[in-house]
Amino acid sequence: MMEYDEFRAMNTTILVAAEGDRTAVAPGFDRVRQWIEEAEERFSRFRQSSELSALNRAAGRWFDLSDELYALLMEAQIAFQETGGLFDPTILPALAYAGYDRSMDELRQFGASPAPDGLLVASPGFDMAQFDPERRAIWMPSDMQIDLGGIAKGWIAARAVEILSQYTDAGAVSAGGDMVLFGLPEGEPAWQVSLEDPRDDSQTLAVLAVGPGALATSSVSKRRWTQQDQTRHHIIDPRVDAPAETPWLCVTVYATQATNAEAFAKALLIAGPDEAWGLAAEQEDLQFLAVQTDGVLVGNFENMEVAHVAAANF
């Protein structure tokens, strides 16, 4: 029997699932919750006490990293390289310029700040950062500011699964648009994951049958706000330092690693149909599903079954 735990962290709903008796898996739920809360404190750009905020304040000089932040930044560096820079954690100034300068919960409650006067001074690309592996330290240019946002959620969920796997043979951790799954539900050949319609979150576009691995969804229709009569969203195209203009509403990626799924969901959404296919083809075992503005689904997946779609084009 599948047991569940649900709570709120990282400005999203966290859902944890574990196969087994409630008494047996409950300690795993408790440890997962504790880990996620501790990780949020470390990686949140909205908390001045976080290690990430301390790193941004230290731009221009060497900064010694915790093992956790060093590991996450290494994953971000790989993602930056493999996506050709379409995933770039140095987009924090562009996010703030577009009005995303506080948590999404606060943004929805109080509204966005107006755009600052003058032109945006964007951070240099992540390839300008330098790492010292022996010291586990990073040097960033003085004008570099980073946001780990989505990739941190995926990384945190993956490590939460490592904790949960000590209490059950099958389970999952879902953090907003990121989901990491291990094992299989009892008597089932696959996990059944619903794909929400980005035009109406009360509707399901498809039910995906997937094995152990990671799913990540990036969307331009979820985290949206109005800034001086202009609609903004949080998917920044680092090539122009502004919210991405794309004919796709969202992209869902299935991959072995959560950080890979998260980075490519964002990169493929920014790339759009002209570039996404070639970018995805360079990654072994990476499969994606995109939703167009008319609800049509496009993708390259082979091992995921679409149980129901409004329209499809594969």
Q: What is the average pLDDT score of the chain?
A: 89
Contact (CB, 8 A) for 77 and 126: yes
In 222-314, at which residue ranges do the beta strands (DSSP E only) sit? Answer: 224-227, 230-233, 236-237, 242-243, 248-255, 287-292, 297-299, 305-306, 312-313
How many helices (H) and strands (E) the chain has is answered by: 7, 19
Tens digit of pLDDT for each residue in 211-253? 999 999 998 887 765 766 667 768 889 999 888 899 999 999 9
Classify residue 285 by its DSSP letter. T
Confidence band, pLDDT 50/70/90 cuts, at residue 312: very low
Contact (CB, 8 A) for 259 and 151: yes
Contact (CB, 8 A) for 183 and 170: yes
- Does residue 308 surpass a pLDDT of 60? no
Contact (CB, 8 A) for 52 and 69: yes
User: Is 242 exposed, middle or buried, given 0-12, 13-18 or 19+ CB atoms closer than 10 A?
Assistant: middle
Confidence band, pLDDT 50/70/90 cuts, at residue 303: low
Q: Rounded to whole angstroms, how far apart are CA atoms 198 and 171?
A: 26
Tens digit of pLDDT for each residue in 146-195? 999 889 999 999 999 999 999 999 999 999 879 999 999 999 999 999 88
- pLDDT for 227 equals 65
Residue range 23-36: mean pLDDT, rounded: 97
- pLDDT for 304 equals 53
The secondary element (H helix, E strand) that includes residue 262 is helix 258-281
- Does residue 293 surpass a pLDDT of 80? yes
Q: Rounded to whole angstroms, how far apart are CA atoms 128 and 109?
A: 36
Query: Rounded to whole angstroms, what are the CA distances from 208 to 30, 69, 141, 268, 306?
Result: 29, 32, 43, 19, 5
7 pairs with which residues across the strands? 14
Query: Rounded to whole angstroms, what are the CA distances from 67 to 72, 93, 161, 162?
Result: 9, 26, 18, 17
- Our CA dihedral for 263, 265, 268, 271, rounded to 10 degrees, sits at -70
Domain boundaries, the chain: 2-313
Confidence band, pLDDT 50/70/90 cuts, at residue 306: low
197 pairs with which residues across the strands? 200
- pLDDT for 33 equals 97
Of 176 and 289, the one with more pLDDT:
289
- pLDDT for 311 equals 36
Q: Rounded to whole angstroms, how far apart are CA atoms 182 and 164?
A: 10
Tens digit of pLDDT for each residue in 99-137? 777 777 776 777 767 777 667 777 889 999 999 999 999
- pLDDT for 44 equals 92
User: Is 223 exposed, middle or buried, given 0-12, 13-18 or 19+ CB atoms closer than 10 A?
Assistant: buried
User: Is 47 exposed, middle or buried, given 0-12, 13-18 or 19+ CB atoms closer than 10 A?
Assistant: middle
Confidence band, pLDDT 50/70/90 cuts, at residue 310: very low
Residue range 268-292: mean pLDDT, rounded: 93
Question: In this prediction, what percent of the chain has a pLDDT beyond 70?
Answer: 91
DSSP alpha helix (H) spans, 2-97: 22-43, 51-57, 67-82, 92-97
Distance of CA 169 to the CA centre of its chain: 25
pTM equals 0.91
Structure-token match 């570099």, residue found: 144
Name residues whose C-beta falls within 8 Å of residue 134's C-beta, 6 or more positions apart in sequence: none
- pLDDT for 50 equals 96
Q: For 2-313, which CATH class?
A: alpha beta
277 pairs with which residues across the strands? none
Distance of CA 122 to the CA centre of its chain: 22
